[in-house]
Amino acid sequence: MAMKYTIPHEVVYYECDVNGTMTLSSMVAVAIKASEEQSDSLNRGTDFVHQFGLTWIVTDYQLFIQRLPKVGEKVLVTTQAIEYNKYFCYRNFWISTEAGEELVRIETIFVLMNIDTRKMSSVPEEIIAPYESEKTKKIKRFPKIETIESGEKLPFRVRFYDIDGNQHVNNAVYFNWMLDVLGYDFLTRYAPSYLHIRFDKEVEYGNEIDSHFEIIEESGEISTHHEIKIGEEVYCEANAKWQVRN
Amino acid sequence: MAMKYTIPHEVVYYECDVNGTMTLSSMVAVAIKASEEQSDSLNRGTDFVHQFGLTWIVTDYQLFIQRLPKVGEKVLVTTQAIEYNKYFCYRNFWISTEAGEELVRIETIFVLMNIDTRKMSSVPEEIIAPYESEKTKKIKRFPKIETIESGEKLPFRVRFYDIDGNQHVNNAVYFNWMLDVLGYDFLTRYAPSYLHIRFDKEVEYGNEIDSHFEIIEESGEISTHHEIKIGEEVYCEANAKWQVRN
């Protein structure tokens, strides 16, 4: 059984939107912080991974949301590197109340990328061993992402503060591009209950992207489809489900 | 002597830009968090102030930067509500290393605004007394902000995630609008050593603003002037000084 690692976190006002609940991008940022702290505690931090000429990237996040954490709430953020195969590492996160109630579960796929060639690398034993993840031969697929049939779009220019230490647009920024286009009325009426996002290509400084979206209402269920494109090329895609806010 | 209040803070990767140093907007966000915690500890939190139909707003920040905090660095954030007069409260912040070295000093002016009329209110004793600030009759002026003589501009649309619980654009967002326009080469070559920002009017959701700027080089000193405008009207203005990064 892989090791779990937990950090406490108090939800700060600037991690919340106008609803007073935590944004998806803040939840993902805090989750990644927990996994970085686990890696540091196992001496498998960024510098160790860089010795192999490699860096971690996340290709998929699935968020299962029971309830969004609220401003001022004290939560626990737990992470576990569940299992891995030759190329893919599966890591879960849980955000829960101090009393142990699960608020959000996040399932992710991590891969190692060669810093020079930008190509995917197989996972070296020296990097993965300390997490005590289960080694498997099977490749666990995340659900297919439904594409947009007929939608609208808004353009976004990549800003300086959107890029991170790897010179690429930080994952959190894609969440904001995708959701902002839904507009104030939608985002104050509905809260996300599920989101699956996949990163296909890296957007860079100087790019201008289009955030395409489609809102689908089917037998009272609201779902949305999202694509971040440059011209005709898809860089990032997502599906989400929504519920009326309390 | 007014009471000081200190919180520890570890600089997280998502508070830093591509240089690996903390952004001005993150420093201000953490500073505001410290002052909110002090207010809560004195039972003068948001709810208490709302009983008077009032809310705090910051009109001016002056940042004096010796060195920007780095990713992973553990710092102390201290705040002190120095003094006040009928309308204006002067609050200072310091970000320092654990060894006590001062990295950044932030001087601010807070005012109380009536939530309904959006007008400035005089400062009730019941709200200010527990901070033990000095009461003065003098009005302390911050330096004049130099306007732009001939500059360039870029437009920004207010996004959903730019607005906070007060339905207004969060202060931190103005920093990013103002600095983003300087571009990658400038922002990786230079670090800010000083910034004075003044908030004149409130930008709201649905607005599109122009971020005007001018870069001035005089006897080897680099400074920049900034204005956030809607049409001809100035909503926010700033002056900054810059040094070559180490």
Question: Does the CB of A70 have a partner CB in chain B at under 8 Å?
Answer: no
pLDDT at B165: 75
Q: For A165, which of B20, B165, B183 is closest by C-beta distance?
A: B20
In one-letter notation, the amino acid at residue A81 is: A
Q: Please count the other Cβ atoms lying within 10 Å of the Cβ belonging to residue B227.
A: 23
pLDDT classification of A14: cutoffs 50, 70, 90: confident
Closest CA to B159 of A222, A130, A187: A187
Query: What span, in angstroms and rounded, lies between the C-alpha atoms of A218 and A221?
Result: 5
Averaged pLDDT for residues A95-111:
97
Distances (CA, A) of A99 to A16, A110, A144, A210, B235: 22, 30, 35, 42, 45
One digit per residue, the tens of pLDDT, for chain B of length 246 reads 889 999 999 998 889 999 999 999 999 999 999 999 999 999 999 899 999 999 999 999 999 999 999 999 999 999 999 999 999 999 999 999 999 999 999 999 999 999 999 899 999 999 999 999 999 988 888 999 999 988 899 999 999 999 987 778 988 899 999 999 999 999 999 999 999 999 999 899 989 999 999 999 998 899 999 999 999 999 999 999 999 998
**In this predicted structure, what is the pLDDT of residue A134?**
93
Whether residues A161 and B167 touch (CB distance < 8 A) is answered with: no
Evaluate whether B175 touches B24 at the Cβ level (below 8 Å): yes
Record the pTM.
0.89
Measure CA B31 to chain center.
9
Strand partners, A236: A199, A228
What would the pLDDT profile of A199-234 be if each residue is shown by its tens digit?
999 999 989 999 999 999 998 899 999 999 999 999
* Consecutive H or E run containing A40: helix A24-41
B7 touches chain A (CB under 8 A): no
When pLDDT is cut at 50, 70 and 90, the band that residue A18 belongs to is very high
- Cβ contact B93:B77 at 8 Å: yes
Strand pairing category for A74-84 and A134-135? parallel
Selecting from A165, A167, A176 the residue whose C-beta is nearest the C-beta of B159 gives A176
Cα B85 from Cα B112, distance rounded (Å) = 12
Question: Distance (Å, rounded) from C-alpha B131 to C-alpha B35?
Answer: 11
- Own/partner pairs for A222-229, CB < 8 Å, 24+ apart? A222/A190, A224/A182, A225/A145, A225/A146, A225/A147, A225/A148, A225/A151, A226/A148, A226/A178, A226/A197, A227/A147, A227/A148, A228/A174, A228/A177, A228/A178, A228/A203, A229/A153
Beta-carbon-side half-sphere exposure of residue B150 (alpha carbons within 13 Å): 0
Closest CB to A18: pick one of B14, B163, B179.
Answer: B163
pLDDT of residue B164: 82
Identity of the amino acid at A29: A
User: Residue A120: which H helix or E strand, with range?
Assistant: strand A120-121
**B41 contacts in chain A (CB < 8 Å):** none
Question: In chain A, what residues touch B23 (CB-CB under 8 Å)?
Answer: 161
Q: Which of B243, B240, B105, B242 is nearest to B178 (CA)?
A: B240
Q: What pLDDT is attached to residue B246?
A: 81
B155 CB near a chain A CB, below 8 Å? no
CA–CA gap between residue B39 and residue B15 (Å, rounded):
24
Residue B92 pLDDT = 97
For residue A6, pLDDT beyond 80: yes
d(CA A46, CA A218): 45
**What average pLDDT is seen over chain A?**
94
Residue A101 has pLDDT above 90, yes or no: yes
CB A165 within 8 A of CB B20: yes
Instruction: Decide if A37 touches B, using CB distance below 8 A.
Output: no
Q: Go through chain B and tell me how many residues it has.
A: 246
The predicted-structure confidence for A22-31, as pLDDT tens digits, reads as follows 999 999 999 9
**A33 closest CB neighbour out of B12, B25, B205:** B12
Q: Which of B9, B47, B160, B162 to mutate to test the interface with A (most CBs of A within 10 A)?
A: B160
Decide which of B1 and A196 is more confident: A196
Closest CA to A31 of A50, A59, A48, A9: A9
B28 contact A CB<8A:
no
DSSP 8-state assignment for residue A44: -
Handedness of CA B53, B59, B63, B68 (dihedral sign): positive
pLDDT per residue over A127-161, tens digit each? 999 999 999 988 888 999 999 988 899 999 999 99
SS3 of chain B: CCCEEEEEEECCHHHECCCCEECHHHHHHHHHHHHHHHHHHCCCCHHHHHCCCEEEEEEEEEEEECCCCECCCEEEEEEEEEEECCCCEEEEEEEEECCCCEEEEEEEEEEEEECCCCCEECCCHHHHHHHCCEECCCCCCCCCCCCCCCCEEEEEECCHHHECCCCEECHHHHHHHHHHCCHHHHHHHEEEEEEEEEECCCCECCCEEEEEEEEEEECCEEEEEEEEEECCEEEEEEEEEEEECC
B138 in reach of chain A (CB within 8 A): no
Which residues make Cβ contacts (< 8 Å) with residue B31, sequence separation at least 6? B77, B79, B93, B95, B106
Q: Of A160, A170, A206, which has the smallest distance from its Cβ to B14's Cβ?
A: A170
Q: pLDDT for A61-93, tens place per residue?
A: 999 999 999 999 999 999 999 999 999 999 999
Q: Are B96 and B103 in contact (CB under 8 A)?
A: yes
Substitution target from A41, A161, A171 for chain B, most B beta carbons within 10 A: A161
Given a cut of 90, whether residue A193 has pLDDT beyond it is: yes
Choose among A18, A23, A187: nearest Cβ to B165.
A18
pLDDT at B2: 87
Neighbour count for residue B214 (Cβ, 10 Å): 16
Asked if A161 lies within 8 A of B179 by C-beta distance, the reply is yes
Say if CB B121 and CB B177 are below 8 A apart.
no
State how far the Cα of B75 lies from the Cα of B78, in Å rounded to an integer: 10
Task: Pick the closest to residue B134 from B80, B87, B82, B90 (CA basis).
Answer: B82
For A:194-223, CB contacts with B below 8 A are 205-206
Chain A environment of B160 (Cβ under 8 Å): 17-18, 179-180, 182-184, 187
- Cβ of B17 and A71 within 8 Å? no
